[in-house]
Structure 1
Amino acid sequence: MAFTGFPEAALDFYDDLEIDNSKVFWDEHKDTYRSAVAEPMGELTDELAGEFGAAKIFRPYRDVRFSKDKTPYKTHQGAFVAVGPATGYYVQIGAPGVRVGAGFYEASAERLAALRSAIDNAIHGAELEQLVRKYSRTGWEIGGDALKTAPRGWSPDHPRIELLRHKSLTITRDYGFDEVIHSAALVREVRKDWRVATPLIDWVCRHG
């Protein structure tokens, strides 16, 4: 089926789940999750797959084995299109609305070393720096895990030390409760933003 938007019931579901994150609540509302969240997310990502690739729609269950927080369910539904190791495009819906993102979400030691070497390079590093500056200027939030200090072997005075500190690097944009999330036009908006994010993905895939 074609994507027609996330219904209000999807936002209500996650509002309630944040209050009562229990198996009892889930079992009583799993049909709402299926019809208001999971199925529309599948339809949305299916319409984007021709250009960006097939998405992995994440399971709603949390891995609580090593966590102090034992609540069993995620309070958002995410989907990820991988184009490289832990690198690609992201979309999610939760109580705060809809969010899109892109970037690399983790890296092995070897890959991180390669990316930092590219950041150190005058040409490649300046290219990434310009991309990140442009995203920030146009309303994207720059995120990812970053060291508080300079990585081992790098000078704190490096001109791109802020980028070198990143262990992952992402950009995100919130649609929140904008009416577009309840309509078929959300496909167009996500497609547009993922296209804007593609130069970052390409840079990471070239150098990592």
Structure 2
Amino acid sequence: MVPSRDAELPHLAADEPVFTRSAAAFLRRLAEDNTREFFTAHRDEYDQAIRVPLEALLAHAEERWGTGRVMRPNRDVRFSTDKSPYRLSASMWAGGGAGGVYLQLGRSGLEVGGGLYEPSRDQLARGRAVIARGGPAADALREAVDALVEAGFELAGPPLATAPRGYPRDHPQIDLLRLTRYAALRHRKASATLAEIDATWDAVAPLCDWVDRHVGPATDRR
């Protein structure tokens, strides 16, 4: 059972790293011995180096971005040929609307960003309809995406190879119409401070706002 985070979370100082070197080191060791025996024997190390700071970061993020969660370390192996029981990364997200912010700790560093990562069919349909109409709403997405790319972010997920069904290939907003996710990520060092993480989340705020305003929550999860 995962312990409650109430009254156990450390204070995160803005000018200090959220994670110590032992966090990425644990994930590298887990990659070499991804077994329940190893994880159980080193559960305290995982809790101290990864779970507790990640829970503290989530509590910090929820103050601005809304309710979220820390992803479980266990993999769902029911339909996978890879039966490794544990993820080789640790992640969290927070968001009170359709959009939200995200952080993933991996063996080589952090991925930090936000937006809408797994849009449903109806969300994509609404987003594309807004883009196709043009005007201020489409311009707002263009400005948000261009600013993020210029700042060194990567747009999440590969775009469609061609125009989505029902839209012409020569549409003036074809690059935005081909997006399959309305989200962006930036790579950070594992030693990134809370202030650096917050600044990265601040940068994706216009994209999150656009998703909340023009896409909205999912109604179709097929």
Match of 2:11 among 2, 7, 18: 2
SS of 1:166's equivalent in the other structure is coil
Q: Which residue of 2 aligns with 1:199?
A: 206
User: Which structure 2 segments of 5+ residues have no match?
Assistant: 1-9, 216-222
Q: Separation in 2 of the partners of 1:56 and 1:47? A: 12
Assess if the C-alpha contact under 8 Å between 2:61 and 2:94 holds in 1: no
Q: Which residue of 2 aligns with 1:58?
A: 71
Q: Partner amino acid for 1:118?
A: V
User: Is it true that 1:98 corresponds to 2:77 in the alignment?
Assistant: no
**Displacement, 1:126?**
2.3
**Displacement, 1:121?**
2.0
Residue-by-residue CA offset, 1:1-30 (whole Å, 9 max, x unaligned): 212631211111011112221112211211
Q: Partner amino acid for 1:199?
A: P
Q: Separation in 1 of the partners of 2:174 and 2:148? A: 18
**Displacement, 1:99?**
2.0
Q: Separation in 2 of the partners of 1:15 and 1:88? A: 28
Assess if the C-alpha contact under 8 Å between 1:145 and 1:169 holds in 2: no
Assess if the C-alpha contact under 8 Å between 2:67 and 2:96 holds in 1: no
Q: Partner amino acid for 1:109?
A: R
Q: Which residue of 1 aligns with 2:194?
A: 187
SS of 1:84's equivalent in the other structure is coil
SS of 2:95's equivalent in the other structure is strand
Q: Which residue of 2 aligns with 1:25?
A: 38
Aligned residues: 201
Residue-by-residue CA offset, 1:98-141 (whole Å, 9 max, x unaligned): 22110111222222111001111222222211211111111111
User: Is it true that 1:107 corresponds to 2:131 in the alignment?
Assistant: no
SS of 1:83's equivalent in the other structure is coil
Q: Separation in 2 of the partners of 1:125 and 1:35? A: 45
Residue-by-residue CA offset, 1:135-179 (whole Å, 9 max, x unaligned): 1111111122432221111111112212212221221111124x4
Relative to its length, the structure with more helix (as a share) is 1
- Provide TM-score, normalisation by structure 2: 0.84
Match of 1:70 among 61, 65, 83: 83
Aligned 1:113-192 pairs, distance under 5 A? 113-123=125-135, 124-177=137-190, 179=191, 181=192, 186-192=193-199
Q: Separation in 1 of the partners of 2:26 and 2:79? A: 27
Residue-by-residue CA offset, 1:17-59 (whole Å, 9 max, x unaligned): 1222111221121111111000011112222332222330111
- Provide TM-score, normalisation by structure 1: 0.90
Q: Which residue of 1 aligns with 2:47?
A: 34
SS of 1:64's equivalent in the other structure is coil
Q: Separation in 2 of the partners of 1:69 and 1:148? A: 29
Q: Separation in 2 of the partners of 1:48 and 1:112? A: 26
Q: Separation in 1 of the partners of 2:199 and 2:208? A: 15
Assess if the C-alpha contact under 8 Å between 2:62 and 2:95 holds in 1: no
Across the aligned residues of Structure 1 and Structure 2, the Cα RMSD in angstroms comes to: 1.6
